[in-house]
Amino acid sequence: MSKLAYLYFYSTILKKLKELVDLRQQAALSSHDFVYSSPDVYVPEETQVNANLSGQDEYVSEKTQISANLSSQDEYVPEETRVNTSLPSQDEYVAEEIQVNAKLSSQDEYVPEETQVNGSFPCQDQKVAEETHVNVDLPIQDQYVPEEAQANASLSTPSHHVPEETQANSSLSNKPLCSTVEDNSSFEQHQAKAELLRIITDLAKKADALEKNQIKSDQEIISLKEVVKDSGRKVQQLEYRIDELQFKFDSSLSLQGSMCDNLDMPAIFLIGGYNGVTWLSSLDSFSPKKDILVSLTSMGSARSYASVAAMEGCIFVFGGGDGSSWYNTAECYNTRSNEWMICPCLNHEKGSLAGVSLNGKIYAMGGGDGTQTFSEVEMFDPFLGKWICSPSMLQPRFALAAAESSGVIYASGGFDGSKYLQSAERYDPREGFWVKLPSMKARRGCHAVAVLGEVLYAIGGYDGDSMVSSVEIFDPRLNAWRMGDPMSNPRGYASAVTFDDSLFVLGGLRSNEQILDTVEVYNVNSGWSVPGFNSIGKRSFASAIVM
């Protein structure tokens, strides 16, 4: 039962109770004024007398009322009021001050103000007090009754004493009728009230039971919704797992006639970018030993400013754009089948982000969408089949560079929306939060970071004024940066990978927006060199990874 139904129910009960109270008040008022078959009777303020069946047009004074009866005999009259009401009168004593003439058929008689008595016929041997004499006539018509005293005549009333300031009820019944009516009405009201209270109690119990059942039903519905939601997640996980197993099965097949059969592995894979004319969707395999570039199956769309990571023999490319818009899409390339597969999308469109793989998961860090710069980190969990939020970096970073070393992710430089940065930070999944590192010697963004040995190299980039050729080296054991040997050419938006114990820096952009087609190689023993590879061509804003 809804709350609205409860309110309507209780308001109806309150309305019924109010009607019972009103009926009780009306019954009390009517019982107070009730007179049986006595029309047109005026009741004064101090005293009321219920008249008998035959009384008409009677006026009752404020102080004293006396009921006089026909055929009354030897009636005692108090000191202040005595009436001689017998016709014919015999041996009457008449007081000095007042005389009473009793006549039959007298009409329109005047009665003094002190006392009036409506007489009865016949009366004998009545004594009239000295202070009061009353003319009594039968039949009585249109008599004037003064204010101080009235006596209502009634049929068949025996002799009785009437005190001074008391009411005498002359009726056929010994018990007052108004009291009986009031008692019956009160009894019926109590019965109705008790019955109503019983009904209210029963309804309240039923309402409580219905409310408890409703709460229980709501809880069961919520529980079922959670079960359905959890089942949906499990179905999605199973679907992704099926796709993953199918993917691995296809990868294990011998693919005759595939381009991958002719590849020298390991190789450097170059993904997308810009060649000065076209935004590229290409995927190429570069073999430094033979200086051979092999074109593979292209991506579904042109993609630059993207990030790349490798996991379980596949290349994942996510984010980036085509020079006019940013993507939240992601694609996965199978090196054995030479095919691309659509992957779950990022939560936001972004480009110039950084990406690494760690412990079977892929992390996408920072980046921007042209209007804002992100500090957020998204993590792709293959078991869940979607990108989920991971702890954010300490500050926003656009065009940053990142790498993984010894189970820890390192992020450095970038643009925070107002200036280029020289700060750096690290994230250890075992700790679950980012930690600030010592800052680099110079500001840089649009640079590259690669791991060689047990140290990280921050290579080239843009310092806010121009492209730079400088290199800085971070040693996690010392928790410090030091300057390294610079490259031969300043460059930003280049791709850097570690291959055969050497650093390879491919393509990029110079300060005059010249797109480079050269490759520089760094070896710890021999330093930087330019081997003169000619196969990669001009390329910037591209991504690279070794498989």
Predicted confidence (pLDDT) per residue in 184-214, tens digit: 777 878 888 888 888 998 888 888 889 888 8
Percent of the chain with pLDDT over 90: 48
Distance between CA atoms of 28 and 39, rounded to whole angstroms?
A: 20
* Residue 427 confidence (pLDDT) above 60: yes
Concatenated DSSP letters of 393-443: PSS--BS-EEEEETTEEEEE--B-SSSB---EEEEETTTTEEEEEPPPSS-
**Are 273 and 130 contained in the same domain?**
no
**SS3 call for 294:** strand
For residue 266, is the peptide bond before it cis, meaning its omega torsion is within 30 degrees of 0? yes
User: End of a domain among 170, 193, 220?
Assistant: 170
**Are 203 and 304 contained in the same domain?**
no
User: End of a domain among 170, 198, 218?
Assistant: 170
Give the chain's domain count.
3
Residues 6+ apart with CB under 8 A from 140: 118, 119
Average pLDDT over the chain reads 77
**SS3 call for 265:** coil
Question: Who has greater pLDDT, 46 or 319?
Answer: 319
Please, which pLDDT band fits residue 14 given cuts at 50, 70 and 90? Answer: confident
Domain that holds residue 115: 37-170
Percent of the chain with pLDDT over 70: 66
Question: Who has greater pLDDT, 51 or 142?
Answer: 142
- Helix (H) / strand (E) element for 471: namely strand 471-475
**Are 370 and 518 contained in the same domain?**
yes
**Are 365 and 468 contained in the same domain?**
yes
Whether 164 contacts 115, CB under 8 Å: no
* Residue 9 confidence (pLDDT) above 60: yes
Predicted confidence (pLDDT) per residue in 118-170, tens digit: 433 333 444 444 444 434 343 444 444 444 434 343 433 434 444 444 444 44
Residue 171's pLDDT is: 42
Provide mean pLDDT across the span 71-84: 43
Residue 134's pLDDT is: 36
Q: Distances in Å between the alpha carbon of 534 and those of 219, 479, 493?
A: 70, 39, 19
* Residue 360 confidence (pLDDT) above 90: yes
**Are 100 and 152 contained in the same domain?**
yes
**Are 205 and 351 contained in the same domain?**
no
**Are 55 and 144 contained in the same domain?**
yes
**Are 27 and 43 contained in the same domain?**
no
Residue 180's pLDDT is: 60
**Are 427 and 488 contained in the same domain?**
yes
Residue 547, classified by CB atoms within 10 Å of its CB into exposed (0-12), middle (13-18) or buried (19+), is middle
**Are 263 and 246 contained in the same domain?**
no
Residue 190's pLDDT is: 83
